[in-house]
Amino acid sequence: MRLISDPAEMRKIAAQLLADGALGFVPTMGALHRGHMSLVTASRARDRHTVASIFVNPKQFGPTEDFGRYPRQFDADSALLADVGVEALFTPAIEAMYPAGFSTKVSVEGLNSKLCGASRPGHFDGVTTVVAKLFNIVQPTRAYFGQKDAAQVAVLRRLARDLNFDIELVICPIVRDPDGLALSSRNAYLTREQRHAALSLSRALNQARADIEAGERDAERLRRKVIDTLSANIDLRPDYVEVVDADNLLARKTVEPNTLIALAAFVDGTRLIDNLLVDAAFRVLM
């Protein structure tokens, strides 16, 4: 696996790989777990070549958020990626991505203030700015993202459409631990007790899934019940629970195909997210 930190070199290598066949791209912030690796596996299965990136993007963290202590484990990550056949790993320095005088912001207006964008002002602008840069550098055939970050998926689909990126976005299912907890690099912050408290997120969504499968279609009743389940846990502080259209992230009154129930909650200082999606056949994916 080639380790590349220079954007110009990454561009050159990616173009060489693409000339030989479809190129898949998996952007990450590292601290890799089975969720990230599922994206790599999907690309390896579908594309001739796979490139990954690790960049802890300062622009998507708020001033009081965890940028400084975000888990960084480069050696373990790069060994994992090399093992599964990733051909190039792009790990730019902050100064390479945002050199002195950097002054451009890519902003998907409207969507950027929904869900996590409401509680994390500027977060999605940071995401879309870095993803636009990564797309321009790598110019892959396909880029792989996780359904775990459902609002990010909506924002990135709009970005790709609005800016005519000729890149297919492939969205992969949420990978969970056997007890239901969605994998996240931030789970590393949790003590045993906090991790136990965090199980309420998937439990609340599982309840909503059962209700939807039993025919419940009233969005506000479902939302209230999820909030009540989260609030019943004194070790959790709900941030938001929303029932929305998965594409435009606007609130829905009834559950229809493409309805997303998304939530965020704090366990002590750690902010966790989770969601479920109702597909075209009213199946609940989570």
| Active site positions, annotated | 36
Q: In this chain, which of 42, 175, 198, 241 binds ligand AMP, going by CB under 6 A?
A: 175
Q: Where are the alpha helices (DSSP H) in 115-167?
A: 116-119, 123-138, 150-162
* Strand pairing class (270-278; 259-267): antiparallel
Taking the complex as a whole, how short is the minimal distance between the CB of residue 31 and ligand AMP, in angstroms? 7
Q: Which is nearer to ligand AMP, 35 or 238 (CB)?
A: 35
Q: Does 52 bind ligand AMP (CB under 6 A)?
A: no
Burial of 43 by CB count in 10 Å (0-12 exposed, 13-18 middle, 19+ buried)? buried
275 part of the interface to ligand AMP, by CB under 6 A: no
Residue of 43, 53, 185, 233 interacting with ligand AMP (CB under 6 A): 185
Chain-centroid distance of CA 123 in Å reads 12
d(CA 27, CA 184): 15
Q: Return the number of the residue (23 or 219) whose C-beta is nearest ligand AMP.
A: 23
**Which member of 18, 182, 255, 272 binds ligand AMP (CB under 6 A)?**
182
CB of 157 to ligand AMP, least distance (A): 12
Distance CA 249, CA 283 (A): 19
Where in 120-149 is the site for ligand AMP (CB under 6 A)?
Answer: 145-146, 148-149
Residue 214: other Cβ atoms inside 10 A: 7
Size of the site for ligand AMP (CB under 6 A): 17
29 near ligand AMP, rule: CB under 6 A: yes
